[in-house]
Structure 1
């Protein structure tokens, strides 16, 4: 939150030309690479379902690991 307040304070002190340069710098230096990708084009339906299932499982595994890091391995054990 403090970073946002600092950036807004700088923004309010900038003239319009400097604001444009700042936004262009954010766009070119801080934005992630946008790359088009369509996995459906190269795979049949069964393969795409398997891939999607795997991606969902990986996301859930990451979510579970983050949950365990924050709240402990098993919430049921603490009851």
Structure 2
């Protein structure tokens, strides 16, 4: 399901994807730990090792200025 979603995002022009979760799980699907020096998380992280990302167009994620936002359903500090 994750691979299908990533393929769909790529086919629709998405270049970068980020998630917050278990690195042991998400690293098996191409995600890798991302430092907040590269891109800030939308909310404070309770487990910094869970901030993960992947480029759908290149091998390295370049630093990104600004602060991202997340979908409304996940925009709850208590789950971050």
TM-score, shorter chain, exceeding 0.5? no
**Where on the TM-score scale, by shorter chain, does this alignment land: which range?**
under 0.3
* Higher gyration radius (CA): 1
Richer in helix (by share): 1
TM-score norm. by structure 2 comes to 0.18
TM-score norm. by structure 1 comes to 0.18
